[in-house]
C-alpha cells in the first residue's frame, strides 16, 4: 500500500493535473479578482489557446466584463504571476452558464437591476396600459425625469449617471469605456 502523500504526488505530476493547475488557482482567486457581486455572475471554466474562458449569467455581464477585460487580466497576473505565460486573454460567454448553475443550488435569474449601470430606482410599471400614444409618451417622460432626478453626476464629464457606476469605476460607463479603449487605439497607430 502506498501512502496518501505518495499517491498525491503521483497525481500532481500527471499531465491532466498539470493542465488544470492554473485553472484551479484562478478559480480560487476569482472572487478576490472581480469582487463578490461579479463572481456570483461569472465563473472561469477552462483555459484554451492562452485565453481564460469565463461563463457569465447574461449578455449584459458579458459586455460589462469584456470592457474590463484588460484590468481583470492585469489583476490576475499581479495575483498569480505564473499565469502570465498560460493566460494572455479573457473571453466571456453565456454558453455554459445554465449547465454550471444546474449543479449548484438554484438561484434567482439575474435582472436588469443587478447590472451595475442600472439606476438605483427602477421605474414602476403601471398595471393599466396607456390609452393613447401621447399618454404613453407622457408616462415615459415622467419616469425618465424621476430616474434622472435620483441619479448623481459623473465626476469626469458631469453627465447624469447611476451612482453604482461612479462607485464601481469612479466615473460613468461611457467615460470608463473611452478610457479603456483610448490606450489600445493609440497603441495600434503607434
pLDDT at site 19: 56
Q: What is the pLDDT of residue 22?
A: 82
The low-confidence residues of the chain, meaning pLDDT below 70, are 1, 15-16, 18-19, 103-131, 183-190
Cα(24)–Cα(87) distance, integer angstroms: 13
d(CA 152, CA 158): 9
Q: Do 60 and 105 reside in the same domain of the chain?
A: yes
Quote the domain boundaries for residue 90. Answer: 29-113
Model pLDDT for residues 73-93, shown as the tens digit of each residue: 999 999 999 888 888 999 999
Residues 90 and 68 in one domain: yes
How far CA 57 is from CA of 33, 38, 48, 75, 142, in Å, comes to 18, 10, 20, 22, 32
Asked if 94 and 128 sit in the same domain, the reply is no
Query: Quick one: pLDDT at residue 34?
Result: 92
The rounded distance, in Å, linking the Cα atoms of 132 and 135 is: 5
Q: Are residue 131 and residue 105 in the same domain, yes or no?
A: no
Is residue 66 assigned to a domain?
yes
Specify the pLDDT at position 173. 85
Rounded distance, CA 24 to CA 65, Å? 20
Residues 72 and 105 in one domain: yes
Grid cell of 105 as nine digits? 443550488
Same domain, 34 and 106: yes
Residue 34 C-alpha cell reads as: 472581480
Number of domains in the chain: 2
0.75 cut: is pTM over it? no
Residue 39 contacts by C-beta under 8 Å, 6 or more apart in sequence? 30, 31
Q: How many CB atoms lie within 10 A of CB 182?
A: 10
Element (H, E) at 172: none
Amino acid at each position: 500500500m502506498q501512502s496518501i502523500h505518495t499517491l498525491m504526488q503521483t497525481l500532481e505530476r500527471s499531465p491532466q493535473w498539470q493542465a488544470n493547475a492554473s485553472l484551479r488557482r484562478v478559480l480560487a482567486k476569482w472572487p478576490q479578482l472581480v469582487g463578490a457581486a461579479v463572481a456570483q455572475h461569472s465563473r472561469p471554466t477552462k483555459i484554451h489557446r492562452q485565453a481564460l474562458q469565463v461563463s457569465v449569467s447574461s449578455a449584459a455581464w458579458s459586455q460589462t466584463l469584456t470592457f474590463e477585460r484588460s484590468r481583470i487580466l492585469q489583476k490576475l497576473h499581479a495575483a498569480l504571476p505564473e499565469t502570465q505565460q498560460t493566460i494572455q486573454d479573457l473571453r466571456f460567454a453565456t454558453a455554459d452558464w445554465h449547465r454550471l448553475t444546474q449543479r449548484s443550488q438554484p438561484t434567482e435569474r439575474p435582472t436588469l437591476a443587478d447590472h451595475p449601470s442600472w439606476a438605483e430606482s427602477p421605474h414602476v410599471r403601471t398595471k393599466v396600459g396607456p390609452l393613447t400614444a401621447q399618454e404613453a409618451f407622457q408616462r415615459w417622460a415622467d419616469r425618465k425625469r424621476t430616474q434622472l432626478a435620483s441619479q448623481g453626476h459623473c465626476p469626469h464629464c458631469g453627465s447624469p449617471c447611476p451612482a453604482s457606476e461612479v462607485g464601481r469605476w469612479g466615473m460613468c460607463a461611457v467615460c470608463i469605456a473611452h478610457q479603456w479603449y483610448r490606450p489600445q487605439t493609440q497603441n495600434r497607430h503607434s
